[in-house]
Structure 1
Amino acid sequence: MVLQPIDPVSDSRIERKTAVLNGYTYHYLYGVPPPGYFKATVFLIHGWPDLSLGWRYQIPLLLDMGFRVVAPDLMGFGGTDAPKVPPNPINLYGLKRASDDIAELAKQLGAEKIILGGHDWGGFVVWRAAQWHPELVSHIFSVCTPYTAPHREYHSLEEIAKGPLPQFAYQIHLASGEVEKSVNSKETIRQFLKGMYGGTGPNGEYVFDPEKGVLAENLLKVGDSKILNGKELDYYVQEYSRNGIHSTLNWYRTRKANWEEDLALLDKKTISIPTLFVQATYDSVLKPEMSKAMDTLCTNLTRGEVAATHWALTQKPEHVNAIIKKWLENQGFRTRSSL
């Protein structure tokens, strides 16, 4: 079943809401299936450089299945606050803070239990949220992002890139402050987004290289993207122009802060609640081999895969949705037509 994606301008299926969470204002998309009854609440957490609207193909599926859906813009993104660092601590962009803010929003919405779905950075967030707030999270699904357990030893981005994950070197560039020098106007934001979502230049020039980062020299060369264009692209440009790209890149400056806070979770490495991991087989950063340890660390794990790049949510939405739908039904959440 092909469902019409959420329209970025106006869509009767969702409301755009704000909430003050632990002192900062978040923007989120909110949907309840008609006539107002819902069987459970699903939170959808996006990644970089994405927004809550990155779930535009999944929100209709979940509403159609009878779920209440909450999709926030993460700290520094879209309509959510973007506190400056310094003077504020970088922990505001960390996994624990995001987890605590999700828990606070769930409390404000009266949700005693939630299902968490994540992609990219949102995938890292949902795994940690289940560890920081085990009483809240009943199920997890993550697209592209495998579970990584807390570690006692600290490893810098430089160590990681020189060692087991050379494709993570881009994170060093994103954290450096260099990207903001070239992505600093509506025009360059538009070109950057087109390139990040697969647009290339006339001679195959690309904007993103996993081992280098953002290639500024190619920004103005790239053409249209097949998966982010038209009014969706216009919406993204508008939202990224609110505060610029700098605040979103703070997520790549949190490695040590996240490690320090993770030390409190060393005795919670195993995740026993039902989990679904959807691997994008052509993801150039979050490669399939990175998920090998999940079979022992996630004791109630279901796996799925889709022949897509990192942007599986919008590149192959029917395939992703079919996997999520089947898993939820197997967890006892039957479709509305079978209630």
Structure 2
Amino acid sequence: MVLNSINPAGDPRVGHYNANLNGKNYHYLLATPPRAFRATIFLIHGWPDISMGWRYQIPSLLQAGYRVVCPDIMGFGGTDAPPVAPPPSNEGIEYYSFKRAAEDIKELARQLGCSEIILGGHDWGGAIVYKVALWFPELVTHLFSVCTPHRAPTKTYIPLEAMVSKLPNFGYQLQLASGAVEEHIKTKVQIKQFLNGLYGGKGPNGEVGFDVRKGVLFENLPILRKSALMDEEVLECYAEEYYRNGIGGTLCWYRNQEVNFQDELQLTKKTIDIPVLFIQATKDEALPPAMSEGMEEYVTNMTRKSVPTSHWALWEAPEQVNGMVKEWLEKVDHSKSSL
């Protein structure tokens, strides 16, 4: 192992906590430097991930003097997974909206005594941190996103089907939103095979478990060899967390386009003007580099970096990612250590 990452089976550098945020239980990791900290950084994960997805980044940020908070977002890990009614009702889908995520992050920051925070995100977490900065600009002083470019709010609703017709690399989202994945992936063994496939496990003849245009390739999952990105202990931890509430809640994030659109019509601020670091993964098939073109129109103080990895840059190139984040923070974060 390249870095001394957080051990999911138990690690003295992090504590596991729960908080009631706007009526729902959230689980989060908290890591605090031994003496004083410069500022508090919230790290927001995506799919299919959990708070432990930041296991390589937490020690680096601790060493740099930051207090680190990593929540499981709604539907994941130890956080509540509110049920959602089937279409056309979809009652409850608002729990998985960007606005709700922003409100819950703000409330957790308040409970931890933070009037300001730094945000970092990956995958859905990357999308969330941009939205927090738009909903609560007074809360966020800086943010960084790994892999996920910013998509500015629009005045016209674009259904997922129409989006996929222009962005075929989003084809997998149609499957994830359809309900098919929950029907196929139920047992803990199936969840482990599913996660292994999403993290790049391959079969004896190069078979894969996931295609960005199609989604999960269920028939291939049982024959895939173990992904190099996770050892058995970490994979077991992830599988246990996903088995807790099933994977249905985690997929609700792919069903909330209309709720997010309606919410964002209320936004008065359209640009993000705080310092932003965007780290592009150049081999990311789901979020290819072309998707970040033109971001500067809406993210006015942006630093661009890149790493030659797939979507799992946090694990494939942790030293590079950590180095980029720390170098950027040294330039833009002028907060002083406080107790």
Same fold (TM > 0.5): yes
Give the partner amino acid of 1:119. Answer: H
Counterpart for residue 50 of structure 2: 51
Distance 2:3 2:235 in 1: 20
> How far does residue 88 in structure 1 lie from its aligned partner after superposition?
4.7
Which residue among 165, 175, 180 is the counterpart of 1:178? 180
- The reply on whether 1:225 has 2:232 as its aligned counterpart is no
Moved beyond 6 Å, runs of 4+: none
Mark the CA change 1:335 to 1:320 in structure 2 (over 3 Å): closer, same or farther: farther
Secondary structure in structure 2 of the residue aligned to 1:115: strand
Residue by residue over 1:69-126, the C-alpha shift from the partner in whole angstroms, topping out at 9 and shown as x without a partner, is 0000000000000110128520100100000000000000000100000000001100
Secondary structure in structure 2 of the residue aligned to 1:169: helix
Counterpart for residue 291 of structure 1: 292
Which residue among 99, 105, 127 is the counterpart of 1:96? 99
- The reply on whether 1:4 has 2:4 as its aligned counterpart is yes
> How far does residue 43 in structure 1 lie from its aligned partner after superposition?
0.1
Counterpart for residue 14 of structure 2: 14
Secondary structure in structure 1 of the residue aligned to 2:149: coil
Which residue among 110, 114, 126 is the counterpart of 1:123? 126
Give the partner amino acid of 2:150. Answer: Y
TM-score (structure 1 length as normaliser)? 0.96
Distance 1:207 1:333 in 2: 44
Counterpart for residue 262 of structure 2: 260
TM-score (structure 2 length as normaliser)? 0.96
Counterpart for residue 244 of structure 1: 246
Distance 1:230 1:327 in 2: 33
Distance 1:297 1:178 in 2: 36
- The reply on whether 1:64 has 2:67 as its aligned counterpart is no
Aligned length: 332
Which residue among 159, 166, 169 is the counterpart of 2:168? 166
> How far does residue 334 in structure 1 lie from its aligned partner after superposition?
8.7
Counterpart for residue 157 of structure 2: 154
Give the partner amino acid of 1:312. Answer: A
Distance 1:130 1:16 in 2: 26
Residue by residue over 1:137-185, the C-alpha shift from the partner in whole angstroms, topping out at 9 and shown as x without a partner, is 100100000011000001111101112x111011010000001111111
Distance 2:165 2:299 in 1: 28
> How far does residue 332 in structure 1 lie from its aligned partner after superposition?
3.8
CA RMSD of aligned residues (A): 1.3
Secondary structure in structure 2 of the residue aligned to 1:305: strand
Mark the CA change 1:223 to 1:328 in structure 2 (over 3 Å): closer, same or farther: same
Counterpart for residue 275 of structure 1: 276
Counterpart contact for 2:134–2:271, Cα < 8 Å: no
Distance 2:324 2:91 in 1: 40
| Unmatched runs of 5 consecutive residues or more in structure 1 | none
Counterpart contact for 1:66–1:335, Cα < 8 Å: no
Counterpart contact for 2:82–2:92, Cα < 8 Å: no
Counterpart for residue 325 of structure 1: 326
> How far does residue 219 in structure 1 lie from its aligned partner after superposition?
1.4
Counterpart for residue 30 of structure 2: 30
Percent identity for Structure 1 against Structure 2: 54
> How far does residue 268 in structure 1 lie from its aligned partner after superposition?
1.8
Counterpart for residue 200 of structure 1: 202
> How far does residue 335 in structure 1 lie from its aligned partner after superposition?
11
| Unmatched runs of 5 consecutive residues or more in structure 2 | none
Counterpart contact for 1:19–1:26, Cα < 8 Å: yes
